[in-house]
Amino acid sequence: MSRVKRSVHGKKKRRAVLEQTKGFRGDGHSHYRNAKEALTKADSYRYRDRRNRKRDFRRLWIVRINAAARENGLTYGKMMHGLSLAEIEVDRKILADLAVRDPQAFTRFAMRAQEALDG
């Protein structure tokens, strides 16, 4: 069996890792061994945080809805329960956006939720 020289593919692999770690701090962008470890770590953070981002945004929306609901005399839980009783299907993202950008429209939703809770 003939001998395989590894120079070309080895350099290609190392160059790819160093290109991916461009902008990292310290030796994590210039020394191959450190860059390889930094890239592995960065990939695991990236994977984890793609999932955490969804949680973070939902928490932010709930905080915004709660603040706006309390200005209208409701709590977050009562607001959401009232909306479900009134058969209004608006997701939290839209409600939070309304709370920030269009408080009058949010107030109308709050009034409908309160009516559904009372009646």
At 57-105, the pLDDT tens digits run: 999 999 999 999 999 999 999 999 999 999 999 999 999 999 999 999 9
Query: Which domains are delineated in the chain?
Result: 7-118 (1.10.1900.20)
- Across 104-110, average pLDDT: 97
> What is the predicted pLDDT for the residue at 19?
97
Measured distance CA(109)–CA(61) in Å, rounded: 16
Instruction: Please give the mean pLDDT across all residues of the chain.
Output: 96
Measured distance CA(65)–CA(108) in Å, rounded: 13
The pTM for the full model equals 0.82
85 exposure class (CB count in 10 Å sphere: 0-12, 13-18, 19+): middle
Confidence of residue 119 (pLDDT cuts 50, 70, 90): confident
The helix, strand and coil proportions of the chain, stated in percent and rounded to the nearest 5, come to 80, 0, 20
Confidence of residue 52 (pLDDT cuts 50, 70, 90): very high
Measured distance CA(84)–CA(116) in Å, rounded: 9
- Across 37-42, average pLDDT: 98
> What is the predicted pLDDT for the residue at 5?
85
> What is the predicted pLDDT for the residue at 6?
87
45 exposure class (CB count in 10 Å sphere: 0-12, 13-18, 19+): exposed
Measured distance CA(24)–CA(12) in Å, rounded: 20
> What is the predicted pLDDT for the residue at 2?
87
